[in-house]
Amino acid sequence: MKKIINDPKNVVSEMVDGLVRAYPQYLTQLPDTEAMVRSDQESMRGKVGIVSGGGSGHEPAHAGFVGQGMLSAAVAGQVFTSPTPDQIYAAIKAVDQGRGVFLVIKNYSGDVMNFDMAKDMAELDDIQVKSIVVDDDIAVKDSLYTQGRRGVAGTVFMHKVLGAAADQGASLDELEQLAQQVLPQIKTIAVALSAATVPEVGKPGFELKDDEIEFGVGIHSEPGYRREAVKPSKALVQELVGKLDEEIHLDATHQYAVMVNGMGATPLMEQYVFCHDLLDELATKKIEPAMMKVGNYMTSIDMAGLH
């Protein structure tokens, strides 16, 4: 294993320190935590705070989305491990402006449990807290760490929609209603060419042969639904769009925001080749995305693949 790190045990603390010091205009670290809040606290006055987070290894999620019109705070757990309730609680307290705090939680049992515990702690301090559990991955149900579907890259859309609404003055109840409307509209699916390597483990989470890919993997190297020989980009697009179409019944009369999300080790060159084929495939259905994003938004350390 080759990594640009020091001691694997210090990866998260050193990463957070480097991130905050690189972007002090956006991020401030809460003392004795791995929680980061918006540096422009003045602009949050009178608004509902939006807090998210999860295990590290998914950068730029979640701290990369702290800022105007998005998250008020993000909490980084250890690699692929939920942040602790006390750190989440610290983030909630730090961003509460008297109108409450809304939590965006990815559907993993550790995240759900720890964010719920932090929510209970905050409510004992008379801070109103509501939440949504994002479960956008259509690949499998009841995978490792999960009851129901996993929360993955689609969570970024939830950050953006709720963050923008909170910035415009939406109330806590209005944000809850909006989140419940948005949730069933977000659907994602992945393909992996190689697994992620957790620094403290030192080996990939699963093994794929040189000529093998896996459809439907999760962002913690959870298993997907099928392995087979590597295919050209066009065939990958047909498989993944086909699965999404079965789920949401793509309709040319609707508008869609589309994201091609790199998993960490996939070059942008390959992401744009996939995008080329994806847009061609959607065009056969007379669909032109209203918004398009291509890049690394929620990664899986060094996994090669797309979401």
Give residue 200's pLDDT: 87
Mark the ranges of the chain whose per-residue pLDDT is less than 50. none
Give residue 206's pLDDT: 87
At the fourth CATH level, the homologous superfamily of domain 8-184 is Dihydroxyacetone kinase; domain 1 (3.40.50.10440)
Question: Residue 110 and residue 31: Cα distance in Å, rounded?
Answer: 23
Sequence length of the chain is 307
Q: Where in the chain is the domain with CATH 3.30.1180.20?
A: 191-306
Name beta bridge partners: 191: 215, 306
Specify the residue for token string 């065939």: 235
Give residue 204's pLDDT: 85
Give residue 84's pLDDT: 98
Convert the pLDDT of each residue in 102-129 to its tens digit.
999 999 999 999 999 999 999 999 999 9
Q: Looking at domain 191-306, which CATH architecture does it have? A: 2-Layer Sandwich (3.30)
The one-letter code for the residue type at 23 is: Y
- Which backbone phi and psi does 172 adopt, to 5 degrees? -60, -45
Q: Are 268 and 295 in contact (CB under 8 A)?
A: yes
Name beta bridge partners: 292: 258
Give residue 282's pLDDT: 98
Give residue 145's pLDDT: 62
Q: Where in the chain is the domain with CATH 3.40.50.10440?
A: 8-184
How many other CB atoms are there within 10 angstroms of residue 92's CB atom? 28
Q: Which two tokens stand for residue 170?
A: 């939406």
Catalytic residue positions? 58, 220
